[in-house]
Amino acid sequence: MSQDDLLNDLLSCYAESPEPSFKVSNYFKIYAELFGHLRGAHCTFIEVGILNGGSLFMWRKWLGDSARIIGIDLNPEAEKWAKYGFEIYIGDQGSPQFWRDTFRKIGEFDVILDDGGHQSFQQIVTLVEGIKAAKKKCTIVIEDTCTSFFQEFSSPGENTFLEYAKDSTDILASRSNNFFAKQFPEIKNLNIVNLFSSVHSINFYSGIVAYRLDPSDVVTPELVWNKPPGSLIASDFRYDGVSSAHIDWPDLFSEKTVLIKGGSHS
């Protein structure tokens, strides 16, 4: 099925849900890209933040009868959705202990979709505990990441969810440090390296960050040649061109141009 077909079916399921739900319009295409492979499959789909319940019905209809749909919410009234065949867990997503207890009950999962409290610490706790609990290939998706800029959801400062996500990409980049002896700075936080060892990729979308995990494919990248390297290696001219450039920096809140200088071959 094409991406367009997946998207159109999802939109139909959304419109036909018997209960109200509101979504950001560009999210549906992202959902189709991230979750389309699960349609018709035996899968476990966890949604954090149930509100009026409409999205639970959307996911079940779109993913199919083989899908196990689980809702997480702090509001005890959300338990009423269990009578429609959904698994409901009531608890605080900002509590690591809640997640540890809940994951023991749920077992393996394919998706965590966080549309819950939107506070940065809640999003980070949900992500971290999900990474720890992952036992197979899965995706953890954090929605409405614009709230990292809102004082209502995140105390002013640098420690927002989006900053956490951006810094997470440094961990992925560091896996190639062994290619370049003494070039990469010394890695001092091995605990965070180990935590993210199962993270295959981090995808940034408008309003969404998706962490793709594959605990079965934790490997150290190696530099490979398609042919044995010999003496006929092309000369490296990377340092022979211009040595700097003025760049318009992608800062939302100020216009600035910075001079970025290149390195030098030693």
Inside any domain, residue 196: yes
Task: Reply yes or no on whether the pLDDT at 266 is more than 80.
Answer: no
Inside any domain, residue 236: no
Inside any domain, residue 245: no
The pLDDT tens digits for 61-102 are 999 999 999 999 999 999 999 999 999 999 999 999 999 999
Inside any domain, residue 243: no
Task: Reply yes or no on whether the pLDDT at 265 is more than 70.
Answer: no
Q: How many domains does the chain have?
A: 1
pTM: 0.93
Inside any domain, residue 22: yes
Percentage of the chain modeled with pLDDT above 90:
78
Inside any domain, residue 67: yes
DSSP state string for the chain: --HHHHHHHHHHHHHH-SS-----TTHHHHHHHHHGGGTTS-EEEEEE--TTSHHHHHHHHHH-TTEEEEEEES-GGGGGGGGGT-EEEE--TT-HHHHHHHHHHH---SEEEE-S---HHHHHHHHHHHHHH--SSEEEEEE-GGGGG-TTTS-SSS-SHHHHHHHHHHHHHGGGGGGSTTTSPPP--HHHHHHGGGEEEEEEETTEEEEEE-GGG--------SS---S-PPP--TTSS-SEEEEE---TT---EEEEE-----
Inside any domain, residue 239: no
CATH number of the domain within which 204 lies? 3.40.50.150
Inside any domain, residue 244: no
For residue 135, give its domain range: 3-217
